A and B are shown apart, each in its own frame.
Chain A
């Protein structure tokens, strides 16, 4: 039953090593976090400031951009159509893509967690928070990829969406108004949760906003799928 999903998953792993645009999405923020945590020390700066900030940005950017780009590329080049014509079901394809990007992003999150000084239970909590955020971004990215006919179209939609979700957590740190507005974005809530991963104190607001964002993304994906289909 999982034969097609596994085959596509493995194909995608091989492709990642040759696809610089996607590869850079997975490694850019983790590498930047490690470098900046090691090289920049400013007095009164909160501990692991860069790692926490980049973690929230990573959640809002990498999964969203990657899945939208991969789906849009497959649609544009008609490889997705070939898969569908060969008996691959849409859910098998989406599951393979979702798992692949989710796992690669979690690997990046692990590096961010190490850079952020998380260990043991705290690291597990950090990864769970990241996993939830990555899932929400995947749903938004899948909706964009499905709605797009080409990579260019996907990029033109992805860039503003990604900028909003990835930069809101950072901007919210410096401005109260933005902070209030940003509360409705899952990436801000993920950022807030990451900041207190050591205590793991989850509020109703955190869960509600993340779930509401996921639901909205799911609805968006449903509409895009109904309108454009995968192939």
Chain B
């Protein structure tokens, strides 16, 4: 299977400080990949290397089987949405996108299409300076997907957004995946990662400390391996998840006492707190 992105032993040093310590990652074509990690873990540094904004100290990056130039900008099959990527404040939403239709060499009508997709068509004549944070994020996403890139980099796409706007962005991300795009996103939001990503990796102090499908990762850290049963009447019972508990579970079920039943695998957040010794801030 061809990989959309392949990183081999990526090292990044700033002076004496080693921010990335030999990153090896393979991202399958057409998947949503989530890079998770606390602030300062090196997520943005890695995304900057992948998008050509920063030249890595050592290592190799391949896109769609081809070597990426070290620090070379402007890869044609790449779309990017980064919080610090600016918009032209005095221009309208439409004019902001129109400029890029011409730069990408796509028809001008793509600007209107993209505005419709992100729900900003009604505000197409609004200057960017009058948009809310959520609307700006949607406009950034519209600009990133307008030329239908094969690889889409999203840096904290729903950071600081209300749940409705975040859900709209998630929907668009899924639509892009359905189109066949590979999506590389960084996030603090474990729920977002669990919901969207087919694979996640945890970056901690410049190293990948865990990698896999979100459910797989959670199951791997299910040390307790217990069942939590909540009975009608409010009582909560904790049982070992093995054959010794089978009779008890059967009994509760036969007596129709079970209100809810859960296994105790941890959430992604709990796994990452266990691995890093700290939460996501």
Contacts and interface: CB of A to CB of B under 8 A. Distances in A.
Interface residues of A, number: 24
B211 interface: no
Contacts of A83: 103
A228 interface: no
Contact of B103 (A4, A74, A81, A231): A4
A97 B84 CA distance: 23
Interface string A2-17: 0110111011001100
**Chain A interface helix/strand/loop/mixed:** helix
B85 A3 contact: no
B86 A82 contact: yes
Given A11-B95, A14-B91, A14-B95, A85 B86 contact: no
B165 to A, nearest CB: 22
A84 B74 contact: yes
B73 A84 contact: yes
Contacts of A7: 99, 102-103
A86 B104 contact: yes
Contacts of B52: 85
Contacts of A87: 73-74, 76, 103-104
Nearest to A20: B90
B141 to A, nearest CB: 13
A77 B86 CA distance: 5
Contact of B51 (A4, A11, A85): A85
B88 A11 contact: yes
Among the interface residues A8, A81, A82, which one has the most CB atoms of the partner chain B within 10 A? A82
B105 interface: yes
Interface string B93-105: 0010001101111
A77 B89 contact: yes
B102 A3 contact: yes
A81 B53 contact: yes
A85 B95 contact: no
B279 to A, nearest CB: 29
Given A14-B91, A78-B84, A87-B74, A3 B105 contact: yes
Interface of A: 3-4, 6-8, 10-11, 14-15, 18-19, 74, 77-79, 81-88, 231
7 contacts: A6-B102, A7-B103, A18-B90, A74-B86, A77-B86, A84-B74, A86-B103
